[in-house]
Amino acid sequence: MMNESITHTVTRRDLLASVAMAAGLIISYGVLGIQGLMFLLPERLRPRTRRLFAGQLDGYRAGGVQVFFDLSGNEILIRRAPAGLTAFDSTCPHLGCRVHWEEDQQRFFCPCHRGVFNPDGVGISGPPAAAGQSLAAVPVEVDEKSGVVYIEVKDIRKRRA
Amino acid sequence: MNRDPGLRQRLQEMVPFDWSLLRHIGSEPVPYHLKKWWFCLGGTVLYLFIIQVVTGIALTFYYVPSPDEAYASVAAITREVRFGWFIRSLHKWSAQFMIVAVILHMLRVYFTGAYRRPRQLNWCIGFLLLGTTMTFGFTGYSLVYEQLSFWGATVATNLAEAVPLVGPLLAYFLRGGAEVGENTLTRFYILHIGVLPTVAALLVGLHILLVRLHGVTELHFEGETVREDERHFAFWPEHGTTELMIGVLLMYLLTLTALIFPAGLGAPADPTVTPLHIKPEWYFYFNFRLLKLTSLRLSVVLTLAAGAVAFLWPFIEEWLSRRLKFPDALSVLLGTLAFLSFLVLTVWEAFAG
Amino acid sequence: MSLTVKRYVVAALSFLFLLALLLVAYQESRRFRQEAGLEPVVTVANRGCVDCHRKDGPALVMEWEFSRHAQLGVGCVDCHTAEKGDLDGWTHEGVLISALVTPKDCARCHAREHEEFSGSHHARAGEILASLDNVLAEKAAGMPGNIADAVNGCWQCHGSIVRFKRDLQGQILRVGKEAKPVIDPDTWPNSGMGRLNPDGSKGSCHACHSRHAFQASLSRSPENCGKCHMGPDHPQIEIYNESKHGIAFYANRGRMNLDKVGEWVLGRDYSAAPTCATCHISSYMTPQGVYTANSHDVGERISWTLRPVVSTKLNMVVYEDGFKEDFPDTRPLPTIGDLVETLEKVVENERLVSRKVSRRVARIVSWEDRRKVMKGACLNCHNDTYVDNFYKQFDDLVVLYNEKFAKPAQALMDELVADGILNSNAPFEHDVQWTFYELWHHEGRRARHGASMMGPDYTHWHGMYEVAKHFYVKFLPEVIEAAAAKGPAMKQKYEDRVKRLLGRDEHVWQKGLSPQEAEALRKMYEERYNQ
């Protein structure tokens, strides 16, 4: 068995080659690493959304609220405001209780700690107001031609039952 | 290093290892013929194995080893997870490349006589590695739980039954029962991600260790003139850079293959519907064709017998050459015949449909 | 190679590898943008229905899951919900529903399509129930107590009047613990185009938009229309299959983009061939670079009516309430703002009755306007000379049929009625009545339809040839035969009539070709066939 070691003297040409090689390896494997990381991290940056049917415009009384559900089972409150339709997630930003619409008082009310939101979803009384919180808005869209209302909710991957 | 001699000393106390040993290992002189590509196949196999481990671990983050959900999880990886199709395709093609590389590596080792004394044991380890690799391929493919996964596993475990003496027990163990079912999938999964990687890692470690201990077989080719100072070159950086080259080349080829031939999905496994054509993966074609030509028992016995001879070949050849006049040419002939039979059977099965 | 070279090689290979990875990233982003097959959404309201019916009618649920409705969370209750007072409603497992989904229900979301459809001839398809065709089915082929021919035949395309079984007091019978209303089994199942529904609406959307998958590709395919638009009296699908349009379609089905979600525009989403829907309903690109809207009024682009004995051009009068009426060109057009007494057929007490309704004219669409809209589709592939010349060829054929055969035959029939030879209360008593019926209703229509959609064989051999042959060989002799039954005087009268008719230029050939024509004919056969 030979035990001699063979040594090299490093020249400038060698250095350039080494740098080129190192850079190439780091960048290419680095990109692979990033792709691998994206693979391991379930999508967070752009959560996919689903359009869901939410009634017809004609079915909404002026100032009235209808309740539809998103894919997680949360109630989405859709109100026909003078300016158009607005939709909110009924989950109270304070501690997650379910908010409901009070027609007579024209407000969204959370019974848990008596949080109150105005028709635009902004907290105006109780803990949410104190923390400057509002109800999460949900994108809502009306199809011009048919008057069908759609809400855009987060898509959750469900396995088939 | 002229930093903090105190620090170095303290590190040396914590890990009392002679680091200069590494430089010694790193500067192992590599025989000049390793500059030829034919001799880099072993490194290729190792590199592909590493890729399999990395991509395999990534896939286990999403794969579910239950008959109800396996297929759906593979579909989710292929269609929904970001770069899922890519990681899966890398894993699939790396497996294919690896088996090809293993076979070519074995051919190279055989036809350069590098299995001969004193390296017989390494040949045996290598052969076990061949078996491990093919088992990896088989169990891995079954995890997808497509029709062919299920029925291929059924056929293979039925074949196992025909192994003399231990057959039925072996089949029962593999299946986790009398029939391929949910126990089978979990067993194959554990084999594939736990047992086989451990075995492979140990064997590969031993394999490389033995190569290093024995030193790479020195070869002298007829009619070649090599200068004495060119007879060896340093492992690092020369050979190491060669290995890097091979690595990047493999990544490039694998990526292209994954792009052009991404891994797809067949119909999900249906235990009640047997597909008209059940075929194993191509590296088992030779076995399948043999099965069709003979009977179940005979084909299994023949395969096992051939395997045993191949496994013990260095010892057999030594014993034969001591008793008889056993020229090299005969070794070469036998090896050629063996490989050709494998090739013929494989190609025959491939085209017979 | 030397170490330095090796390093450069590694660098170069890394670069190639990087490029490949960038391709992978590109591929990944493209995959993202592709519209993935979205999974069905079962909302809380529909959960109960789906869970039970997944066992009790699994294929139905699977079809719904395949639909675009399911992707948007539109499910069972959204279509099947009934209102209090609906005749066909009942409380099923705690929910007030109706099995029957009518255009009114669909209109809750598809209002525009409903509006267009309800004014169309499709919606009125059920109104033939008081016509000669019905007489044939109920009387000629049917018997008292059993009109299964009408039920299984005519009504399945044209639509039934959906009726209920009633008790002696006239109340709807209800059975079971849910008090489900009992539908007259003769009238349901029925997905006829012009089905008359208990809620007053006309038509059936699922006649074309098969439930529960409601696949666009099915509705756009010609076979869909071919369920009804086929056969000896109006072989539209057979003609389409014969024509170059049909050939192009069947050869290029994969390029037709039939599954496209949303609008399906000729000249933008597909180009290989027109289907029935293309010309009669769907959107197409205009030279202005925009596309026309589609319309579920299938008659909007029709300029000739090929249905009656004598074809006429069709003008359309649109009234202020949206009611549409076709005015044959023989009928003088009103002006905008006029009050017109229209005749509308409605269902009262489960019977079809005619109602007079006074309506004000809002808009007039001439047959030329209607033809122009149709031509817009043609012009996507053909130039205007081509299209105009085609229309001339088509018009000429209709005129030929009208002038040579239809009008004289109609005139003779009118005379026979006037002379008391034929009893208009017994429309199929004599041979001549059957022959005349088939002359215009079957062969004559085949000829006209064949010309309208470029099916030459239907135009000629299945069409005008048979019209001509039966006119000469059967109809005219049968006229005389019918007259003879009323006495020798009538017989003589009609013999003379027929003789006069046959003396006209267009009929005189029967007695013999001119000598030149005969000679040319003989020579042709000798040269070509040696006979």
pLDDT in tens, B309-353: 999 999 988 888 888 776 778 888 889 999 999 999 999 988 876
Q: Which of C192, C139, C185 is nearest to C425 (CA)?
A: C139
Confidence of residue C213 (pLDDT cuts 50, 70, 90): very high
Residue B26 confidence (pLDDT):
63
Q: Do residue B114 and residue B144 come from a single domain?
A: yes
b (16+ CB within 10 A) / e for C393-409: ebbebbebbbebbbebb
* Spatial CB neighbours of B35, under 8 Å, sequence gap ≥ 6: B233, B242
Q: Give the torsion through C-alpha atoms of B82, B83, B88, B92, to 10 deg.
A: 170
Say how many domains are in chain B.
Answer: 2
Residue B281 confidence (pLDDT):
87
Segment C156-176 shows an average pLDDT of 92
Q: Do residue B305 and residue B270 come from a single domain?
A: no
Residue A99 located in a structural domain: yes
CA atoms within 13 A on the CB side of B88: 26
Residue C35 confidence (pLDDT):
43
Q: Do residue A95 and residue A33 come from a single domain?
A: no
Nearest-CA distance C192 → chain B (Å): 38
Residue A28 located in a structural domain: yes
Residue A160 confidence (pLDDT):
29
- pLDDT over threshold 90, residue C347: no
* Residue B349: Cβ within 10 Å count: 22
Size of interface A-B (CB pairs under 8 A): 55
- Answer yes or no: do A25 and C44 touch at CB < 8 A: no
Residue C270 DSSP symbol: B
- pLDDT over threshold 60, residue C493: yes
pLDDT tens digits, C35-89: 455 678 888 888 889 999 999 999 999 999 989 899 888 999 999 999 888 889 9
Residue A125 located in a structural domain: yes
Q: Which of B144, B139, B140, B134 is nearest to B45 (CA)?
A: B134
Strand C324-328 versus strand C312-319 pairing type = antiparallel
Alpha carbon separation from C448 to B142, C233, C401, C454, C459 (Å, rounded): 64, 11, 8, 10, 7
With contacts defined as CB-CB under 8 Å, which chain A residues touch C108? 56, 59
Q: Do residue B212 and residue B345 come from a single domain?
A: no
Say how many domains are in chain A.
Answer: 2
Domain with B153, as residue range(s), is: 32-218+233-275
User: In angstroms, rounded to a whole number, what is the distance separating the alpha carbons of residues C118 and C195?
Assistant: 11
Contact C278, C267 (CB under 8 A): no
Task: Give the one of B24, B83, B215 whose C-beta lies nearest to A35's C-beta.
Answer: B83
| Highest-scoring range by mean pLDDT, A115-129, B213-227, B267-281 | A115-129
Segment C304-331 shows an average pLDDT of 94
- The secondary structure of B2-44 as a DSSP string is -S-HHHHHHHHHHS---THHHHHHHTPEEEGGGGSGGGGHHHH
Residue C245 located in a structural domain: no
Residue B33 confidence (pLDDT):
66
Enclosing H/E stretch for A51 = strand A49-56
Residue C34 located in a structural domain: no
pLDDT tens digits, C374-417: 999 999 999 999 999 999 999 999 999 999 999 999 999 999 99
- pLDDT over threshold 80, residue C119: yes
- pLDDT over threshold 80, residue A2: no
Q: How far apart are the first and last CA of chain A?
A: 65
User: In angstroms, rounded to a whole number, what is the distance separating the alpha carbons of residues C88 and C174?
Assistant: 10
Question: What percent of chain B is predicted at pLDDT more than 70?
Answer: 89
Q: Do residue A82 and residue A23 come from a single domain?
A: no
Segment B11-40 shows an average pLDDT of 74
Segment B9-37 shows an average pLDDT of 74
Strand C180-181 versus strand C174-175 pairing type = antiparallel
Strand A107-110 versus strand A100-102 pairing type = antiparallel
Q: Tell me, what CATH number does B170's domain have?
A: 1.20.810.10
Contact A8, B237 (CB under 8 A): yes
- Answer yes or no: do A157 and B29 touch at CB < 8 A: no
Residue C243 confidence (pLDDT):
96
**Residue of B90, B256, B265 to mutate, testing the C interface (most C Cβ within 10 Å of its Cβ):** B256
Residue C430 located in a structural domain: yes
Residue C188 located in a structural domain: yes
Between C363 and B234, the higher pLDDT residue: C363
Segment C161-172 shows an average pLDDT of 92
Residue A160 located in a structural domain: no
With contacts defined as CB-CB under 8 Å, which chain A residues touch C39? 158, 160
- pLDDT over threshold 70, residue B220: no
Beta bridge partners of C340: C359
Confidence of residue A5 (pLDDT cuts 50, 70, 90): very low
Say how many domains are in chain C.
Answer: 2
Domain with C163, as residue range(s), is: 111-204
Q: Do residue B288 and residue B255 come from a single domain?
A: no
- pLDDT over threshold 50, residue A1: no
Q: Which two tokens stand for residue A39?
A: 């693979």
User: Which amino acid is present at B321?
Assistant: S
Residue C349 confidence (pLDDT):
85
Q: Do you know the residue count of chain A?
A: 161
- pLDDT over threshold 50, residue A45: no
Residue A41 confidence (pLDDT):
86
Q: Do residue A120 and residue A59 come from a single domain?
A: yes
| Locus of tokens 């990381």 | A37
- The secondary structure of B162-182 as a DSSP string is TSTTTHHHHHHHHHTSSSSSH
- Across chain A, mean pLDDT equals 83
- pLDDT over threshold 80, residue C30: no
Residue C435 located in a structural domain: yes
Residue C91 DSSP symbol: E
| Locus of tokens 């191949």 | B310
Question: What percent of chain A is predicted at pLDDT more than 70?
Answer: 86
- Domain final residue, candidates C204, C221, C251: C204
Q: Do residue A111 and residue A148 come from a single domain?
A: yes
Q: Do residue B169 and residue B309 come from a single domain?
A: no
- pLDDT over threshold 50, residue C283: yes
User: Which amino acid is present at C162?
Assistant: V
Q: Which of C346, C440, C370, C437 is nearest to C398 (CA)?
A: C440
Task: Give the one of C10, C22, C109 whose C-beta lies nearest to A148's C-beta.
Answer: C109
Confidence of residue B76 (pLDDT cuts 50, 70, 90): confident
Angle between helix axes C384-400 and C444-452 (nearest 10 degrees) is 170
Q: Do residue B255 and residue B115 come from a single domain?
A: yes
Q: Do residue A59 and residue A36 come from a single domain?
A: no
Which chains neighbour C (Cβ–Cβ under 8 Å, 3 or more pairs)? A, B
Residue B224 located in a structural domain: no
**B234 φ, ψ to 5°?**
-70, 145
- Domain final residue, candidates C204, C235, C253: C204
Q: Do residue B142 and residue B267 come from a single domain?
A: yes
- Domain final residue, candidates C176, C204, C232: C204
- Across chain B, mean pLDDT equals 86
Q: Which two tokens stand for residue B75?
A: 């579909």
**pTM of structure:** 0.62
Q: Which chain C residue is nearest to residue A153, measuring alpha carbons?
A: C72
Residue B119 located in a structural domain: yes
Q: Which chain A residue is nearest to residue C37, measuring alpha carbons?
A: A50
Residue A135 located in a structural domain: yes
Residues 71-110 of A with CB under 8 A from C: 71, 73
- pLDDT over threshold 70, residue B35: no
Q: Do residue B214 and residue B297 come from a single domain?
A: no
Residue B79 located in a structural domain: yes
Determine the 3-state secondary structure of A67 from DSSP: strand
pLDDT tens digits, B55-74: 999 999 999 998 888 998 99
- Answer yes or no: do B249 and C23 touch at CB < 8 A: no
Question: What percent of chain B is predicted at pLDDT more than 90?
Answer: 40
Q: Do residue A116 and residue A136 come from a single domain?
A: yes
Q: Left, alpha or beta for B223 (phi > 0: left; psi -120 to 50: alpha)? A: left
With contacts defined as CB-CB under 8 Å, which chain C residues touch A50? 38, 41, 71
User: In angstroms, rounded to a whole number, what is the distance separating the alpha carbons of residues B100 and B347?
Assistant: 14
Q: Do residue A19 and residue A68 come from a single domain?
A: no
User: In angstroms, rounded to a whole number, what is the distance separating the alpha carbons of residues A66 and A81?
Assistant: 12
pLDDT tens digits, B116-154: 888 899 999 999 999 999 999 999 999 999 888 888 888
Question: What percent of chain C is predicted at pLDDT more than 90?
Answer: 72
Residue A50 confidence (pLDDT):
82
Q: Tell me, what CATH number does A74's domain have?
A: 2.102.10.10
- Answer yes or no: do B259 and C7 touch at CB < 8 A: no
Q: Is A150 on the interface with C (CB under 8 A)?
A: yes
User: In angstroms, rounded to a whole number, what is the distance separating the alpha carbons of residues B178 and B158?
Assistant: 10
Segment C194-213 shows an average pLDDT of 93
pLDDT tens digits, B149-183: 888 888 888 888 888 888 889 999 988 888 888 78
Residue C486 located in a structural domain: yes
Segment A38-63 shows an average pLDDT of 79
Q: Which two tokens stand for residue C324?
A: 């549409």
- Across chain C, mean pLDDT equals 91
Between C262 and C500, the higher pLDDT residue: C500
Residue C239 confidence (pLDDT):
97
Q: Which two tokens stand for residue C9?
A: 């090689």
Q: Do residue A55 and residue A123 come from a single domain?
A: yes
Residue C488 located in a structural domain: yes
- pLDDT over threshold 70, residue B185: yes
The region of weakest confidence among C34-43, C245-254, C316-325, C456-465 is: C34-43
Residues 22-81 of C with CB under 8 A from B: 23-24, 27-28, 31, 36
Q: Do residue B337 and residue B270 come from a single domain?
A: no
Task: Give the one of B69, B234, B251 whose C-beta lies nearest to A6's C-beta.
Answer: B234
Q: Do residue B178 and residue B296 come from a single domain?
A: no
Residue B200 located in a structural domain: yes
Q: Do residue A133 and residue A56 come from a single domain?
A: yes
User: In angstroms, rounded to a whole number, what is the distance separating the alpha carbons of residues C419 and C400?
Assistant: 28
Q: Give the torsion through C-alpha atoms of C252, C253, C257, C260, to 10 deg.
A: 170
Q: Which two tokens stand for residue C168?
A: 């002696």
* Spatial CB neighbours of B281, under 8 Å, sequence gap ≥ 6: B137, B138, B141, B152
Q: Which chain B residue is nearest to residue A156, measuring alpha carbons?
A: B80
Residue B18 located in a structural domain: no
Residue C531 confidence (pLDDT):
67
Task: Give the one of A21, A35, A147 whose C-beta lies nearest to C111's C-beta.
Answer: A147
pLDDT tens digits, C233-262: 999 999 999 999 999 999 999 999 998 888
| Locus of tokens 């299945």 | C462
Alpha carbon separation from C28 to A29, B85, B259, C32, C79 (Å, rounded): 18, 9, 10, 6, 38
Residue A70 confidence (pLDDT):
85
Between B30 and C431, the higher pLDDT residue: C431
Q: Do residue B164 and residue B191 come from a single domain?
A: yes
Domain with A59, as residue range(s), is: 49-154
Determine the 3-state secondary structure of C203 from DSSP: coil
Angle between helix axes B147-161 and B296-311 (nearest 10 degrees) is 80
Q: Tell me, what CATH number does B292's domain have?
A: 1.10.287
